[in-house]
Chains A and B, each alone.
Chain A
Amino acid sequence: MINFNYVVAMLLITLGLYCLLLKRNLIKLIIGLSVLTDGVHLFLISMGYRAGGIAPIVTDDMTLGSFSTQAVDPIPQALVLTSIVINVCILALALSLSIYIYRHYGTLKLSEVRRLKE
C-alpha cells in the first residue's frame, strides 16, 4: 500500500511548501514554487499507470485491439504537458520582476522590500 511514487510526490510538495513559508530571499521563494509544481505533476502522472503497460503510441507490430488493453492513460500526460509550459512562463515573469525589484530597492530580502516604500 505504501507506494514509492506517491510518497516522493508528497515529499516534494512538503519541501516546496517549507521553502515558500520559511525563506526570506526572493530567488529561494521562486525555486520553492517550482519544486512544488513538480511534485504535483509527478502525482498526476502516477495516477494514470496500468500494471505492465506500454506508452500510448501505436507502433508497427501491434493490432489496434490489443493496444487498448495494454497502454497507460493518455489524459494526465496531455494536461501535464500544458502545465509545464505554463510553469515556464510563470518562472520567466517572476524572475524578470525580481530583477526589477533589485534595480529599484538594491536588495532582495523580502523584509526590507516591504518596509522601504519609495
Chain B
Amino acid sequence: MAGMSIIVRTITRLLFPFMFLLGAYIVVHGHLTPGGGFPGGVIIAASFVMLILAYGTERVRKQVVFTRAEVLESIGGLTIGVLGLLGIIVGVAFLQNVFPLGDFGRLFSGGNLPLLYLGVGVKVTAGILLIFYAMLFGFGGEEE
C-alpha cells in the first residue's frame, strides 16, 4: 500500500502530537469529565493508524514489531488484575478501594479509579493497534 502525497504527510506529522495529547487527556481525566479509558485508548490508537496510513506500508514495515504491542496489552490487563488482588491481600473484597480518597474534584481523587482507567487505556490502545497490524501485515500470500 503506497503512502499519500507530501501535503498529507506534512499535515499528519504536525497533527500527530496533538491527537496523542487529546487521547491521553481523556484517559487521565476519566473520573472528572466524560470519557475514560475506552474512548481515550481508541483515539491514541487512531493517531498511530493515521501515521501508518500517511506514510505507506513499505516505509513502516521495519518498525512494526508484533511482540511490542502484545507485551503492552498484557501489561495493561495485568495492572487491572493486580489492583484487584491488592484488595484481597489487605483483607476486603476483590477490586475494593484501598487507596486514600483525596479531595473531591481534584486530579488525585477517587481511590483506585484513575489507575484502573490507565490500565484499560493501555490495553485498548495496544489491542486495536494489534488488530490493525494483523490485518495489514499478516497477509503473507498476496505478493505471490
Q: Do any beta carbons of A and B sit within 8 angstroms of each other in the complex?
A: yes
**B residues in contact with A118, CB < 8 Å:** none
> Which chain A residue has the least Cβ–Cβ distance from B31?
A57
**Chain A interface bracket (under 10, 10 to 19, 20 to 34, 35 or more):** 10 to 19
Measured CB to CB, the closest approach of chain B to A90, in angstroms, equals: 13
Complex contacts, A92 vs chain B, CB 8 Å = 131
Contact B34–A57 (Cβ < 8 Å): yes
Whole-angstrom distance from the CB of A18 to the nearest CB of chain B? 29
Which of A55, A60, A84, A96 is in CB contact (< 8 Å) with B105?
A60
Return chain A residues, CB-CB under 8 Å to B32.
Answer: 57
Q: Is A55 in contact with B34, judged by CB distance below 8 angstroms?
A: yes
The size bracket of the interface on B is 10 to 19
* Interfacial chain B residues near A58, Cβ < 8 Å: 104-105
Residue of B nearest to A96 (CB): B135
Q: Within 8 Å of chain A (Cβ to Cβ): is B20?
A: no
Partner of B38, one of A55, A81, A99: A81
A85 to B124, CA, bound (A): 10
Minimum CB–CB distance for B113 against chain A, Å: 13
B5 adjacent to chain A (CB < 8 Å): no
Interface residues in chain B, defined as those with a beta carbon under 8 Å from any beta carbon in chain A: 32-34, 36, 38, 104-105, 124, 131, 134-135
The 8 closest A-B pairs by CB, nearest first: A92-B131, A85-B38, A81-B38, A57-B34, A60-B105, A96-B135, A55-B34, A57-B33
Enumerate 6 A-B pairs (CB-CB under 8 Å) in ascending A order. A57-B34, A58-B104, A58-B105, A60-B105, A81-B36, A99-B135
